[in-house]
Structure 1
Amino acid sequence: MRVRWDYTSPAIADVHRERVMPRSLFLLLLFLSSLCSTCLSIHAETAESHSTFTCEPVGLRMCQDLPYNATFMPNLLNHYDQQTAALSMEPFHPMVNLQCSEDLRMFLCALYAPVCMEYGRVSMPCRALCHRAKRDCHKLMEMFGVAWPDETECSRFPDCDESYPRAVDLQTSANPTDISPMSVQRDFGFWCPRKLKMEPDLGYSFLGVRECSPPCPNMYFQRPELTFARYFIGVVSIVCLSATLFSFLTFLIDVTRFRYPERPIIFYAACYMMVSLVFFLGFLLEDRVACNAASPTQYRAATITQGSHNKACTLLFMVLYFFTMAGSVWWVILTITWFLAAVPKWGSEAIEKKALLFHTCAWGLPGCLTVALLALNKIEGDGVSGVCFVGLYDVTALRWFLLAPLCLNVAVGVALLLTGIVALNRVRMEIPLEKENQDKLVKFMIRIGVFSVLYLVPLLTVISCYLYEHSYRSVWETTWVQERCRDYHIPCPFQVKQTSRPDLALFLIKYLMMLVVGIPSVFWVGSKKTCFEWASFLHRRRNKE
């Protein structure tokens, strides 16, 4: 049997008028109030939970038939749904049922289920309303053993004369005295807009909010800027693809020409050939893989693809991330082979015996990192380049899966490279060599130095861009929320101390250096001998035809 309590019942009013009440009657009222609170909780459970910063119908039974019928959550007391608010209001049910004050119900509802007014304004009960409710119900609360909670202390509310809750504008109020201490400390945080909400269990996350995805194609740049960036990346990817493909094909023409310690350069070129190919495919695909299409029927805008549910995006990510990391590892292996040739004086045959170990490290370590990212569901679409990568919106993934491996590879590679160059220079200075051999050693050292500089400068630039992005990502995101909060009808950031927008040039430099880092391989294979080999190869092909 479900018990319902009528707050305007004449019987309750008559009881309230009595000066003396039997104790049994108080116990009965307390029992009925408990049943009523259960009803309120059940009713609150059926209320639709909020998912965006929009008005929602008031589901609290105590707050029905008031001058307003819409509220928002979280409320002023950080209750994130109406069910939690209903449970916190339970101690006041006997006082409301007995109508100890005509202002109590209005005060409680204005606090626990504040009126949803125009955007950016928070409804707060007046201090006078609080004082009247507390004064009228003080004796009855003592009789029921209910204390006035600290969170409803009247001094926390603004001083106003209206009997209706006062609205304090948290976004435009310039005078601190116009805002109560409670409102000054209030921050709603980021709420996912309805247009960016995604289906559950897909692993989507945006600004720390689950089942939410960034807007597509990009949250920072306009369409004309993205069009320019897309063509820029496309042209650079074609140049890099041509250069690395030429290096790899030169190796295939004469496999025996490039032996250790030079052989890793070929695998290094092959890795960045695949990286360039993925960026070129991203240029051709535009937003079709990196973004989820808009759904007008579900009021959903185009969003960034996340996770592994999109097979094309997953494939692009696997190829791009795997070969990016593998190219970096092959450069480290190149410095190791140079070190073995310069310091302990290993020959080509001795170094080649370690080839299996080199291949295991070069392909195994990036493979493990790729599998780990797939397991963690850290794939993200890139609305600028059209590919899928990692660390584009997740700072943690950027820190541990991009910055950490790249910085480690640079540190190890530079240390081995410098050690090898110093050892070669010592050989040149201390051991007497013929002029011809002396010249060959000098040329070899120059080629190593130039190749290393041509590789390290782009890679260090990429790392610098990632570090800068890592440092300012939170500021950019806060600025974006502040600029778009009213368009998306979500809470604006509270007391923003710093605002900044990313520069498109930063992203263009990052993509440029990610691609041109593979071009130095042409410097190593480019020689007169290469020209003769290609001429001979083409001549043989024509003779066969």
Structure 2
Amino acid sequence: DNKASFLIMCLLKYLVVEAIPMESAAGSHSMFTCEPITLRMCQGLPYNSTFMPNLLNHYDQQTAALAMEPFHPMVNLQCSSELRMFLCALYTPVCTEYGRMTLPCRRLCLRAKGDCYKLMDMFGVTWPEEMDCNRFPDCDEPYPRPVDLLSRSDSTESPISVQRDYGFWCPRELKIDPDLGYTFLGVRDCSPPCPNMYFQRDELVFARYFIGVVSIVCLSATLFTFLTFLIDVSRFRYPERPIIFYAVCYMMVSLVFFLGFLLEDRVACNAASPGRFRASTVTQGSHNKVCTLLFMVLYFFTMAGSVWWVILTITWFLAAVPKWGSEAIEKKALLFHAFAWGLPGCLTVTLLAMNKIEGDSVSGVCFVGLYDRTALRWFLLVPLGLDVLVGVALLLAGILALNRVRMEIPLEKENQDKLVKFMIRIGVFSVLYLVPLLTVIACYLYENSYRTVWETTWVQERCREYHIPCPYQVEQTSRPNLSLFIIKYLMMLVVGIPSVFWVGSKKTCFEWASFFHGHRRKE
């Protein structure tokens, strides 16, 4: 066979004349047999069998595949028509019928390196010393190349321009099964790394414990408010009754955050798969049942809490302006409940249908708008912003009406003092609610404005590590400050604590004392 003889002659010339120090690798092949090529990159070549170890002493194809990974972007971008053939000839050498190995020719190496060196520099990939073109024989290609690789431009320039931004490429470590429908930075079947892509492990531990402590405080305050209501239900009538439902909502919110503290990364993150080259990634969508449940409870009661505050301002407005009594307002209770629970329910179901659930590796829970800015704007900023506008308008109208009553209508000193105290309680409660809520909205607005810069900075810092295209001409770089996220979570929980100030009075102390005294007498 002339072809086989030619291969052997090239090999002998390479080993004897060029004196390339690969004798150990060459000699080790004498006892090996051919095996089918399993590497995806090297499918469809003129040969379909190889043998291991190869010239670089990779003893199996899986090890060779790992070594080839840094060159995948260059192959995909087709910077050279010779690169794929050269890499496969080196990492999965052709296996002849005699069990002898062949080497890629020097000309093939020089073409591949010359065409791709600019793009390799952009990706942070260096040409390995063991791939020095001078180490390969000066001969023609010892095997036919595929037709699609024969076509070559007459221009001396690279087939593609490297002076442009190629966008985000999903690293192999962050790739997810297509059936899950994950998305990261606009790329499908990709997910952010876990733990958080912006912060170090010690920062995340501090944030996790901080959130856990604040959630316990909020849970205690709201639970006390709800239990006080259960002791004497008749005490809290409309227009005050919405405060109880408001407290229940934030009791559930703080409970979810406390569960996130206990669960750590077990729900918000997908476990790593070392055998499949996958790192731990952020959970997305509704395939994780625990993550879905935490999201539903957290989002539903967060939205419901803000709606109950609006309803509280409505009841105060009805009591102050048209002078409705408790019985008249209570007749609208069914409408209040339908609105307070129905609207958050519709939003929650919509997000489930859109598969917008995302794991939060900072708090350990699952929420929305953590990586998807569109969901952040329409399902957090817009509803919370409308609640603030409507609530503040009604609140101011009610306070002005009460003040007008105090100034224009003569009242007994006792009734005058009661009205002043009521107005002060309304004002204090509103400030204690609005300041945290407005802070949360400000944090969301800041995230929405700077998240693109944070993501670009992260890609620029990690592109060489992940072997993906680096951003071209980055105008601005910035990293998020952990204090921003800590303030956001603090205010999301503190907003539930004002309810305890409304029930905090001497009457509440007497009720609890009577409750415990009566319980002891029954025993």
TM-score bracket for this pair, using the shorter chain length:
0.7 to 0.9
1:368 is matched with 346
Checking the alignment, whether the CA contact within 8 Å between 1:119 and 1:489 is kept in structure 2 is no
Match of 2:257 among 279, 283, 293: 279
Residue 239 (1) aligns with residue 242 (2): no
Checking the alignment, whether the CA contact within 8 Å between 1:380 and 1:392 is kept in structure 2 is yes
Superposed CA offset, 1:416-474 (max 9, x none): 00011111111111111111111111111110000000000000000000000000000
Residue 74 (1) aligns with residue 45 (2): no
Question: Any unmatched runs of 5+ in structure 1?
Answer: 1-45, 50-55, 62-67, 83-104, 124-150, 159-164, 167-180
1:377 is matched with 355
Instruction: Give distance in 2, aligned partners of 1:407 and 1:48.
Output: 53
Superposed CA offset, 1:232-289 (max 9, x none): 0000000000000000000000000000000000000000000000000000010111
Runs of 4+ off more than 4 Å: 46-49, 56-61, 68-71, 113-119, 151-154
1:437 is matched with 415
2:451 is matched with 473
Give the superposition deviation at 1:183: 3.1
Alpha-carbon distance change, 229 to 359 in structure 1, aligned in 2, over 3 angstroms: same
Instruction: Give distance in 2, aligned partners of 1:324 and 1:366.
Output: 8
Paired residues for 1:315-354 under 5 Å: 315-354=293-332
Give the superposition deviation at 1:200: 0.9
**Structure 2 SS opposite 1:201:** helix
Checking the alignment, whether the CA contact within 8 Å between 2:123 and 2:467 is kept in structure 1 is no
Checking the alignment, whether the CA contact within 8 Å between 1:229 and 1:508 is kept in structure 2 is yes
1:539 is matched with 517
**Structure 1 SS opposite 2:225:** helix
2:59 is matched with none
**Structure 2 SS opposite 1:384:** coil
2:3 is matched with none
Residue 464 (1) aligns with residue 403 (2): no
Superposed CA offset, 1:146-165 (max 9, x none): xxxxx9795xx65xxxxxx7
Superposed CA offset, 1:309-337 (max 9, x none): 00000000000000000000000000000
Alpha-carbon distance change, 187 to 342 in structure 1, aligned in 2, over 3 angstroms: same
Residue 452 (1) aligns with residue 430 (2): yes
2:17 is matched with none
TM-score, with structure 2 as normaliser:
0.74
Residue 492 (1) aligns with residue 495 (2): no
**Structure 1 SS opposite 2:519:** helix
Question: How many positions carry a matched residue from both structures?
Answer: 414
Alpha-carbon distance change, 121 to 249 in structure 1, aligned in 2, over 3 angstroms: closer
1:183 is matched with 162
Checking the alignment, whether the CA contact within 8 Å between 1:74 and 1:188 is kept in structure 2 is no
Give the superposition deviation at 1:57: 4.4
Instruction: Give distance in 2, aligned partners of 1:315 and 1:266.
Output: 24
Superposed CA offset, 1:83-114 (max 9, x none): xxxxxxxxxxxxxxxxxxxxxx99xx979x96
State the one-letter code of the partner of 2:77: P
Alpha-carbon distance change, 153 to 516 in structure 1, aligned in 2, over 3 angstroms: farther
Match of 1:250 among 184, 208, 228: 228
Paired residues for 1:15-414 under 5 Å: 56-57=41-42, 71-75=74-78, 117=120, 120=123, 154=155, 182-184=161-163, 186-414=164-392
Instruction: Give distance in 2, aligned partners of 1:359 and 1:367.
Output: 12
1:169 is matched with none
Checking the alignment, whether the CA contact within 8 Å between 2:209 and 2:261 is kept in structure 1 is yes
Alpha-carbon distance change, 47 to 269 in structure 1, aligned in 2, over 3 angstroms: same
**Structure 2 SS opposite 1:260:** coil
Residue 427 (1) aligns with residue 427 (2): no
Checking the alignment, whether the CA contact within 8 Å between 1:289 and 1:313 is kept in structure 2 is yes
Instruction: Give distance in 2, aligned partners of 1:194 and 1:253.
Output: 58
Please, what is the CA RMSD of the aligned residues?
A: 3.0
Alpha-carbon distance change, 267 to 465 in structure 1, aligned in 2, over 3 angstroms: same
Instruction: Give distance in 2, aligned partners of 1:57 and 1:220.
Output: 36
Checking the alignment, whether the CA contact within 8 Å between 2:125 and 2:467 is kept in structure 1 is no
Instruction: Give distance in 2, aligned partners of 1:507 and 1:497.
Output: 25
